[in-house]
Amino acid sequence: MKIMFYNIAYCTGVTGAVKHYFMKSWRFLWLPLGIIKKMAEELIKAKIDVLCLAEVDGGSFRNRFRCQAKQIAQKLKFPFFKTVTKYHPFSIWQFMGLVRKQHDAILSRKKGQFKKHHLKSGVQRLVQEYIVDGISIFSVHFALLSKRIRQKQFRELAEIIRKCPRPHLVCGDFNINRGLEEIKEFVRQTGLRRIIKEPTFPSISPSMYLDMFFASPDVRIRNAGVLHIPYSDHLPVWVEINH
């Protein structure tokens, strides 16, 4: 089974170059429709079974009221997908039209069980869990600006993971812009091992280890890597497991 995590940056096509954030900033308010088609073509080539997505437009005006998770699932011919707002149900962000359509999603070739958890800290609190073939796949998107908040989120995520009775993978955009030191305590608390060893951000010239996979000791990793797709400021990461 091959699993991928990808922060698609709402399919803006911004690659992380500083000039892009200025010259193409309009794309965050009116999304270019051609990017999602090009991105899907690359994802089809990757032959994945489960796709965990961050920064998905759930159907706001900027994507002409169409859900990007559904669009990608249709292009990949995945029969199963679930898309959820990344904010807590009682958050003030749920009352803001554009923001509440900022989702994370899980798409799958195989039928599984979807669960959602919420962290106590930060603005983006969603933890997605997809149970398929006896394995739990957790997917997250952590706070960008505050290392202190991220450390709280790591501790809270560790509590959720420790209760999981199945072999498990943890993937996400962890936004550890202060370096790999940020994950040391999380790894110690959970006993997980870091799988992805390559930087993923910015995609135009990767230097930061923001997007990662972790695996419990009972998950056998067959292969893993980073896919170089130039349609987001993040590169997608993937693992293939024997199961």
pLDDT of residue 16: 75
One-letter amino acid at 80 equals F
Cα 45 to chain centroid distance, Å, stands at: 19
Q: Residue 56 maps to which CATH number?
A: 3.60.10.10
CA pair distance 188, 211, nearest whole angstrom: 19
Q: pLDDT band at 122, cuts 50/70/90?
A: confident
Cα 38 to chain centroid distance, Å, stands at: 19
Could you tell me the residue range of the domain that residue 108 belongs to?
2-241
Q: Is the pTM of this model over 0.85?
A: yes
Mean pLDDT confidence for 183-198 = 96
Residue 45 burial by CB count (10 A; 0-12/13-18/19+): exposed, middle or buried? exposed
pLDDT digits (tens, 9 = 90+) for 29-68: 789 989 999 999 999 999 999 999 999 999 998 999 999 9
pLDDT digits (tens, 9 = 90+) for 96-114: 555 668 899 999 999 999 9
Say if residue 138's pLDDT is above 90.
yes
Percentage of the chain beyond pLDDT 90 is 79
pLDDT top residue among 135 and 93:
135
CA pair distance 13, 20, nearest whole angstrom: 9
Domain tally, the chain:
1
